[in-house]
Structure formats: structure tokens, C-alpha cells
Structure 1
Amino acid sequence: MNPIRGYLQLIRLPNLFTAAADVLAGTAVAAAAGSGGDEAALLGLVLSSLCLYAGGVALNDWVDRNRDARESPHRPIPSGAVSARAALRLALFLLAVGTMAAGAAALVLSSPTTAITAACLIASILFYNLAAKNRFFGPAVMGLCRCLNWLFAMSPAAAVWTPWHWALPVGMGIYITGISWFARQETAVSSRFYPALGWSHWVVGIAVFGVFGMAYENVAVDRWRWAALLGLITLWLTVRTLWAIQDPQPRRVQLVVTQAILAVVVLDAAAVFVVAGPVRAIPVLALILPAGWLGRWLYST
């Protein structure tokens, strides 16, 4: 692995498009609620989310460097493409830039909620990597990070949130928790228990996510279209899960995990679809194209 590819792999470049999709979807929901920011605020929110995500996964590889040397020697640090010291420096730099971008967005928006949510997100990223990741509650903390990323994007509309708005970040958090459980043993022949547990979280997470479109008053499309779209996503994930459980080899499990990560973009686009219609949803959905293309050369898990 050459150094450039090593660094791109370290930050999970394909996955960054899912973090951007979260922010674009969250800000679209905020705008539909009547409280949006200007372009500078949106840029700050997107930049912060990207840097915090990239810094978090780089820190993850630094924390796991000894285990990866045994189980995944192809990863950037054990392969020698990126030194452990350089990976740590990059992680800290990205987390710092993400923190500053979040602070700038909070100032532009004059939103204490944005600043508080960003602080909680940063704390959760650090807690996951430094304390929780190898514990039984690690997947839930990872889900919390994604939930907070959505809340961070929605924060401009905090004053007008309804109870139904919470279904989106909470549902996405449960869904990401499922991805973490599904990938729990991805480097070896997986126990069928973990993919099944991950799938159950996906179903529950999508169902909670769907509550928003079924209960929120100001939807832009027929509710049956929203329900049908989420039903198709659930069916597709179920078929892929059964394929992985049939023969839970690392390659199959990792492939399904990658596809589930890409489905985050589809769910985010669905959220935009229900509040703003298909035209606004298309740019968000289009993020799946570079994510999928880059995923041919850079792994996502």
C-alpha cells in the first residue's frame, strides 16, 4: 500500500460521503421546519462533520494498531503505509479542525444548541475510541455518535423541533448500532448471532426513522411512498443479511457491512424526499455514486 492510499484508507474516504449526507439531510429537515442557516453555516456544518468523522476513524485505527497487526496486517498502520505517530497526528489535527468548524458554524447561526451538540459529538467520538469500542456497549456508543451527527445538522431548528423530529436521529443511531454489531467479528468467520443482531437493529432503526414521515404533519409526498421506500430498503438489507448468514465468511460479512453503510445515504435522501420532494433529494442520493466508486479500491469497514 502506497502512502497516499494509506492515508485515504485511514480516513475511510468512501464513508465520508455518508457523513456529508447526514448533514445535508439534517439541514433540509431544519429548513423545512422553518429554521435554516446560510451557506457559510452549511459549509461549517459539513466541514466539521467530515473532519470529526475522518479524525474519529483515524483515531480508531491508531487505537487498534496492535490488534490489526495480528488480525488485519493489510491496514495502513501495520502495513507500514502510515506510521502510528503520523496516524495519531492526523487524527488529532482533523478532530481539532472539526471542533473549530463546529464553533464557527455555531457562531454564524448564533445557536448554543449547535455548540452543545458538537461538544457532545466530540466527547462521544473520544469515549468510543478510548474506552468503549471493545466493550459490549461499544456499538451503542457508535450509534450515539451518528445520532449526534444528525442532531448537529438539525440544530438550527432546535427551537421548533417536534417529538417526531427525534425519530430521525434516533432511528439512524439504532441503524448504525446494527452495523457495528454486524461487523463485530468481520475479520474471522463470524458467529451467525452478530449478523442477526445487526439485522434486528437495522429493522428497528428503519422503523423508528420511518415514524417521522408517518407522523409529521408537513410532508411533501404521500406517506405511502415514504413507507414503500423504507420497506424496499429493509427488504434489500434482509436479503443481503440472509446471504451473509448462510456462509458468514469475512468477505461476505464485510461486503454486506459496506452495502449497509452506503444505505445510510439512501436513508438520508429519503428524509429529504419526505420533507422537500424528489428534486431536493437527488443531490443527496447522488453521493452514493462517489462513495460506491471509491469503495472499489478503499474498504469501508
Structure 2
Amino acid sequence: MTLRESPCGCRAGAPTNAPEGTSGDTVPRACTDRSHRSRAWAELLRLPALFSVPGDALAGAAATSVPPNSRTLLAIASSLCLYEAGMALNDWADRDVDAVERPHRPLPSGRIRPAAAFTAACALTGAGLALAAGAGRPAIAVAAPLAATVWAYDLGLKHTPAGPVAMGAARGLDLLLGAAATSGSTRPALPSAALLGTHTLAVTTVSRQEAQGGSPLPPLAALATTALLTRLVTRHSARVAGGSGQPIDPGVTGGRRLSIVPGRTRGRGQATVSGRTRGRGQATVSGPAGPPAVLHQGQESGALLTTVLGAAYAATTARPYFHATLNPSPPLTQRAVGSGIRATIPLQAALTARSRGTVTALLIAALAPLGARFAKKVSVT
């Protein structure tokens, strides 16, 4: 008997003297069914798109100048659950439309029952809210409207003019969830949430015509939006990298409040001032906060990383959006949408680097090649 490893890990076999016309190596039907079922759920949940989710919470945390903590991890887990709830609910709500436009999708093809998809959406929503509650009251205060926005989009707003706005709001709220869970405050993260939400709005607008094609205006507008967002994210960084960095604030350095006491330090996190000023509102800082040269060097490295990540964001979408503008056919439009989703990761990383989260930004950026690799196996659109 010849044995071999089946796709799901079972050892399958058949006699080597099997009848002519049959395979000497067979795979149990249960094994193939399990493999097909897993593939169907991966398509329904669009698993490669999950790589674009953790960066939301991490960018939100970076904007608050508070290092990521255990509550940040709970926010990430909550975001993943709510994101996948939206994916399952999306296909459940669109099952009749997909039966005409995308009969290969898991629900219209019969590989997953509609009731199972709806149950998964409910369970994932409940899990996401429970995880957010574990991160504290500020987190659940953001997660609840986020979940409501996801359900409202899938069940009613998707095919209305408010659809892209709702999707952009959901992505912005997801970033604020990370800020609320990490620090208890969302205010410092509002600018980053607005930039990320604008990007999502542009991608969603393009996606509305990915099944049948349409006008070149949405991808052209998305291309212009990408250029604007890249400029906004990297504008301050360009000034710092060019040698015109902001003066050191004698009251705040490295996200911590400092007490200025001439000639000595008063404790941890407080600075010593040499006694002479370099200009109105500027001071030479030394002590635990670090000398000015070190601080400026850190600013320059963070600015350079922000610029590089901003360029990566623009490069990810520029060509697909341009091609979809020239020819807004379904294949090119779908490619543009997929690129827009993947571009979310370098944008998150750029926003994090802009907030001085250099290490976290690099971790987020590392998710981009993983997402691109898995997107070759399962479509993100």
C-alpha cells in the first residue's frame, strides 16, 4: 500500500494494485471536504485583508505618545473580530446580488450557507465588543459605534451615497479604538483618524464599480486623494529632514511633561536647563530627557522613515489607480481596489512614524509583504 500526506494532514492510502484507471494515492473525501470548507471561509472572510487591521490600533496608540500595552492588544483583537464580522455580514447582505455578478462567491455557490455566515457575523461582533470592554470603558465607548457603523453600512448604507463615508468613518473609529484603549483618550489621534478615514473613503468609492466597471472619475479622484494624503503625512517630516526641525519645547519632550529647574534635576522624567536660552520660547535641554543633538537626530530618523513610508503608500496605489482611470474595466478596477486596501498598511506605518513610533511603524510595515503574499491565494475584494 502506498501512503501519502493529504492536504489536511491525514495519511491516505490505496493498494498499489488498484484497478486500472484509478489513482494509487487517494485522499479521503472528508479531508477534501474539510479543505474546501476552509478555503470557502477564507474567501468569505477575505483573510489576507486582516493584515491591514492591526495597524489601525497601533497608529492610534502612537498618536497618544503612550507605548502599546496589554489594552492595545485587546483593541487589536477587537478590531480583527469586528472587521471579519463586517466581511461575513457583507456577503450575507449581498448574496442575491452576488448570485448574478459573482456566482463563484462562497454563498451563491453553495459552499457556505447564508445562515452560517450570518451567525458568524453575530458571533464575531459579540466577541469584538467583549474584547473592547476588557480594554476599559473608553475602548467600549468607541467600539460600540464602530460595530453599529459596520452593521449600518452592510445592511443599508452600502448602496447609498453615504456608503463610502460610513466606511471611512468605520476605519477612523478603528484607529480611535486603539487610542482609547491605550491611553483612555481619543483627541490626540483625531488627525490620524481623519487621514486614514479619507483614504478608506476613496478606496470604497472606487470599489462601488468593481463588478461592472464604470466612470474613470472615482479612480482619478482616488489618485488625487493619495497625492494629497502623502503630502499631508510627509509635510512636517520634510521640514525636519531638511534641517529646519522644530525647536525643543522646554515644557514637553518625548511625550512627557518636564519641569525646568536651572542647574539640577528634580527627578525622573525632568530636565536640567543650562540657564541660557537660544531664543524666545526655546531652551537647551539636558539630563534624563537627552541632549538636544540626540533628540534632533531622533527627529531626523523618524522624519526620514515617515517620508519613505509615505512614498511607499503612494507607490502602492499610483499605477493601479492610473490604469483604472484610463480603462475603468472590472479587472483593472478590482486591481485598483486591492492595491488601495494593501496601501492602508504603509499609510498606517507612516502615521505611526510621524508620531515618533519608529519601532512600531517598522512592525506595521512588515505586514505589507505578508498581506501581498496571501492576497495571491485569496482575493481581498
The corresponding residue for 2:147 is 122
Equivalences for residues 117-266 of structure 1 within 5 A: 117-155=142-180, 156-159=182-185, 161-162=187-188, 165-210=189-234, 220-222=298-300, 223=303, 226-227=306-307, 229-231=309-311, 233-234=313-314, 237-266=317-346
The counterpart of 2:115, out of the listed 39, 60, 85, is 85
CA–CA separation in structure 2 for the residues paired with 1:134 and 1:160: 30
Deviation at 1:152, TM superposition (A): 0.5
Deviation at 1:172, TM superposition (A): 0.3
CA–CA separation in structure 2 for the residues paired with 1:60 and 1:184: 13
Deviation at 1:229, TM superposition (A): 4.2
The corresponding residue for 2:29 is none
The corresponding residue for 2:273 is none
The counterpart of 2:69, out of the listed 38, 48, 56, is 38
Equivalences for residues 281-300 of structure 1 within 5 A: 281-300=361-380
The corresponding residue for 2:28 is none
CA–CA separation in structure 2 for the residues paired with 1:4 and 1:232: 33
| One-letter amino acid of the counterpart of residue 128, structure 1 | Y
Alpha-carbon deviations, 1:238-293, whole Å to 9, x = none? 33311222222211111121111111111111223233354332221111122111
The corresponding residue for 1:109 is none
CA–CA separation in structure 2 for the residues paired with 1:97 and 1:46: 12
Alpha-carbon deviations, 1:184-238, whole Å to 9, x = none? 1101233212222333333444445557868998695334663464255335533
Check 1:225–1:23 CA distance in 2 against 1; reply closer, same or farther (3 A cut).
closer
Deviation at 1:26, TM superposition (A): 2.1
- Structure whose CA Rg is larger: 2
CA–CA separation in structure 2 for the residues paired with 1:16 and 1:25: 16
Equivalences for residues 43-82 of structure 1 within 5 A: 43-82=73-112
Say which SS state the counterpart of residue 355 (structure 2) adopts: helix
Check 1:68–1:93 CA distance in 2 against 1; reply closer, same or farther (3 A cut).
same
The corresponding residue for 1:18 is 52
CA–CA separation in structure 2 for the residues paired with 1:249 and 1:149: 31
Greater helix fraction, Structure 1 or Structure 2: 1
Check 1:295–1:267 CA distance in 2 against 1; reply closer, same or farther (3 A cut).
same
Would the aligned equivalents of 1:174 and 1:202 in 2 still touch at CA under 8 Å?
A: no
Q: Percent identity?
A: 28
CA–CA separation in structure 2 for the residues paired with 1:224 and 1:55: 37
Alpha-carbon deviations, 1:51-80, whole Å to 9, x = none? 000001110110000000000111110111
Larger RCO: 1 or 2 (CA < 8 Å, sep 6+):
1
Would the aligned equivalents of 2:205 and 2:218 in 1 still touch at CA under 8 Å?
A: yes
CA–CA separation in structure 2 for the residues paired with 1:158 and 1:44: 13
CA–CA separation in structure 2 for the residues paired with 1:203 and 1:174: 12
The counterpart of 1:9, out of the listed 36, 43, 49, is 43
Structure 1 runs, 4 residues or longer, greater than 6 Å off = 214-217
The counterpart of 2:61, out of the listed 2, 11, 27, is 27
CA–CA separation in structure 2 for the residues paired with 1:119 and 1:94: 13
The corresponding residue for 1:271 is 351
CA–CA separation in structure 2 for the residues paired with 1:52 and 1:257: 21
Count how many residue pairs are aligned between Structure 1 and Structure 2.
290
CA–CA separation in structure 2 for the residues paired with 1:87 and 1:206: 37
Give the TM-score, by structure 1 length: 0.87
RMSD between superposed Cα atoms in Å: 2.5
Say which SS state the counterpart of residue 146 (structure 1) adopts: helix
